[in-house]
Amino acid sequence: MKVYVVDASVAARLLLIEDLSDKAGLLLESFRDETVELKAPKLVTYEVGNILWKAATQKLIEIDYALE
């Protein structure tokens, strides 16, 4: 089984509509199908939170979505 390390930019693409969001979605589907294993550094949660905060301050997403 292939193992991929997911960084914050990939994880954020699962939550935001951006370039390559479709490819991030395919990676998530492969994980759900158990054809790949995903790993992430411990800081990814904070990094994605920062990305969502920035998107909310730029009015790209609603603050409630970012908080959720």
pLDDT, tens only, 10-63: 999 999 988 889 999 999 999 999 999 999 999 999 999 999 999 999 999 999
CA atoms within 13 A on the CB side of 31: 15
Per-residue pLDDT at 20: 87
CB 15 within 8 A of CB 48: yes
| CA separation for the pair 68, 2 (Å, rounded) | 31
Q: Which CATH number goes with the domain that contains 27?
A: 3.40.50.1010
Question: pTM value?
Answer: 0.81
Give how many domains the chain has, as a whole number: 1
Full residue range of the structural domain in which residue 17 is found: 2-67
Per-residue pLDDT at 18: 85
